[in-house]
Amino acid sequence: MRIVGLSTYMQRVGDRPRLLVRVRTDEGIDGWGEAYNHGPDHALVPYLDYLFDFLVGKDPTRVEYLNQLLLRTMRFPQGAIGLAAIAAIDHALWDISAKALGVPVYALLGGAVRDRVPLYCGLYAAPDPVECRDLTDELHESNGFTAFKLHPYRGDLHDRRWGDVVRESADYFRAIRETCNNAWDFAFDAHAKIFEPIKAVQLGNALAPWEPLFIEEPIRPEHIPAWSRLRSELTVPLATGESLYSPNEFLALLAAGGADIVQPDICVVGGLSQMRRIATIAEAHFVTVSPHNPMGPLATAHNVHFAAACSNFALLEYKPDPTSWCPDPYVPVDGHLDLRPDRPGWGVDIDEEALATDDYVRWDRRVPLRPDGSLAFV
């Protein structure tokens, strides 16, 4: 079996753009992958076309060899766009390899260590407590969710003194606990908006009395010693990793004692082949993996198979957005995604007729301004 073609499809999931990749073989077995769109979205397409020149005529079942080949095509370490492109190809190769054998992808990883994959639901907002109660009750009733992720901020971070921001966040979480079902877990994503580590410590510890599941990425990822300080001074679990790209970066973070939970994105770090390395490093540091996954149903499928075979996996982020191109996504039942042992590859179908319609939507992050006109962090 040989690789003969690569196609890209710029689509959407909810209100966000997503790029799908299909790798074709001379035996009619195709594989699918989803790339993370860091922006500019269309930069991925020529990059993927460039990488295809290294793949054409190769055996697609040599997944590790081809993943390493693509990583080593560049003299310098790959960055965001390069690794997202490699991730999509890597996933397509795993899909082909599993389909050729008639087994799910996780069977190629040593088999399942769990029967289903536990989830938390990303709400990506800070709804008022009564609204939050109604929404989480509804999500529990429909899909069995018992864990959710919120924003900790109740307004602009920069238009009043920091002590008020911290107090408002603490008051908000107290109200959430008093209003919502006490059985629910709530995590908080701080979105790397805080520059000073001491302020991140103040915010996290203010939330501590009401037992957050974790506080996620309160500061930028670049300076590893700051993460060591955070973890030593916080009294809540510290999670991070969506902005880190390589096993080496995760090794540096964990060797410094910088996280309780790591959150690599399988569509960012170079695919399942690299994700497994990161998980092994985390396991050696007694740290669990809770993948970043605000993505589409194909990326969720990639994560399901990773989680199925990963001993130190904890929870998978899940964003319930509709698509036109995946008719049979993994759907939460009792707060979990069930494995599909009778379906080869990723276990989902892609509607190619739907992909024939250009459903691209542009989405740009807005950089906030402080009151003095200087730029804050996204």
Active site residues: 191, 292
| Position 215, amino acid | I
The whole-angstrom distance between residue 18's C-alpha and the CA centroid of its chain comes to 13
Q: Is 297 exposed, middle or buried (0-12, 13-18, 19+ CB in 10 A)?
A: buried
Structural contact between residues 92 and 22, judged by C-beta atoms closer than 8 angstroms: yes
Structural contact between residues 241 and 269, judged by C-beta atoms closer than 8 angstroms: no
Q: Is 95 exposed, middle or buried (0-12, 13-18, 19+ CB in 10 A)?
A: buried
Structural contact between residues 101 and 344, judged by C-beta atoms closer than 8 angstroms: yes
Q: Which residues, other chains included, contact 114 with Cβ-Cβ below 8 Å and sequence gap of 6+?
A: 307, 308, 313
Query: Which uninterrupted H or E stretch holds 6?
Result: strand 3-13
Phi/psi-derived region of residue 192, left when phi > 0, alpha when psi is between -120 and 50, beta in every other case: left
The whole-angstrom distance between residue 76's C-alpha and the CA centroid of its chain comes to 25
Structural contact between residues 277 and 226, judged by C-beta atoms closer than 8 angstroms: no
Nearest-angstrom CA–CA distance, 97 and 305: 14
